[in-house]
Amino acid sequence: MNTDTISAYRVGDTDFTRKRKLPFWRVAVLILKGWKSSLQNRINKFFDDLDLLENIPTASAFCQAREKIKPEFFKVLNEKVVKFFYENYEKEGFVKKWKGRLLWAVDGSYINIPDTVQTRENYSVQSNQYDEKGVVQALASFLCDVLNDISVNSSIDDIKSEKSFIFNDHIRHYCKDAIVIYDRLYADYSVIASHTEAGIDFVIRCPVSKTFKNIKKFINSDNIDEIASLKVPKKQEKFIKQNGLPEEIIVRLVKVKLPNGELEVLITSLLEEEYKIEDFKWLYNRRWGIETYLDRLKNQLEVERFSSNKLIGIEQDFYGMVFLSTLESVLSKETEKEITEESRKKELKYEYKMNKSVGSVTFFADSYMKK
């Protein structure tokens, strides 16, 4: 691992400057290795794999060493894998698209955090009449490629407005090749205006009540497809002006009927005739991909099973697991394509699926960190 990377993501200027049993890359890999066994057993196995049994450090030494690595290091690793995937896998036919466009989605999920004095001060405590002490939770927000099952970006913070993650973090990762899909929590003028200004296409599910006047008229009309103008609400005028965003926006409104007969209204920037009404029903349903990603992250990869009670360790674990999930998806693309082709040849009703687990990529993490 080069010295520039170490300098950028170590906590202190003198961290990792001496030759020790736990250099930067070994500590990083140990964080990624998983924590289903005891910490000392995990360290022992790791050094055994490296044929360095005589140099095994203590669990205490590792805990001290990990506090010298910034959690952002694992975010950057994820960004590098995503960039590599789009730049190198496209020509191999491994990057799935729709009408030549990437399909991304944004959503948030509550994450249970270890309960300590420090976490109570920095995250949110959720309590009710049955549990006055409450539980400590964070809100994690994800920008996912729903066709390729990768996390383009993630962020974890205390519980706040979900749209704030867009402005503070996600928006710098958006690209014009992507259509970003949102649920109704994001049907907000500032979100729409920021996309319009940046030239980023979107599809947003709209609530049928408490919405824009023009959208209410559309809902009550017989129209199923309409171009409409939205004006900035008074309560958002200050924010819009401060950020140089448009005060009026032209959007397309589309009505879609769900299988249960429920009416769904979508707001979109896709004004062109090539995008048919039936496309939007299919398109919005692709948002389900982020739900399945979150389910895998929580239940299969156990992102809430933290190996540390300290803030820096919690964030290392979170961003490390997101990185591993992305690396896992990228490494499996060739196999997934082979499975799809095999299913088509056999004319199977249901396509074979890979059994994904974080254990399948920790081996690759070792060599990845050494570079």
Task: Give residue limits of the domains in the chain.
Answer: 184-286
d(CA 112, CA 165): 19
* DSSP three-state, residue 59: helix
Residues 113-167 have pLDDT tens digits of 999 999 999 999 988 777 788 999 999 999 999 999 999 999 999 988 899 999 9
Which residues does 306 contact at the CB level (< 8 Å), separation at least 6? Answer: 113, 114, 313, 314, 317, 318
d(CA 325, CA 344): 27
DSSP string, 66-94: HTTB-THHHHHHHHHHHHHHHHHSTTTT-
CB atoms within 10 A of CB 259: 6
DSSP string, 184-228: GGG--HHHHHHHHHHT-EEEEEE-SSS--HHHHHHHHSS-SEEEE
- The model carries a pTM of 0.84
**Between these two residues, 49 and 270, which has the higher pLDDT value?**
270
d(CA 337, CA 166): 32
Residues 73-120 have pLDDT tens digits of 999 999 999 999 999 988 888 999 999 999 999 999 999 999 999 999
Looking at residue 364, its pLDDT comes to 46
Highest mean pLDDT among 29-33, 77-81, 348-352: 77-81
**Between these two residues, 210 and 229, which has the higher pLDDT value?**
229
Residues 201-213 have pLDDT tens digits of 999 999 888 888 8
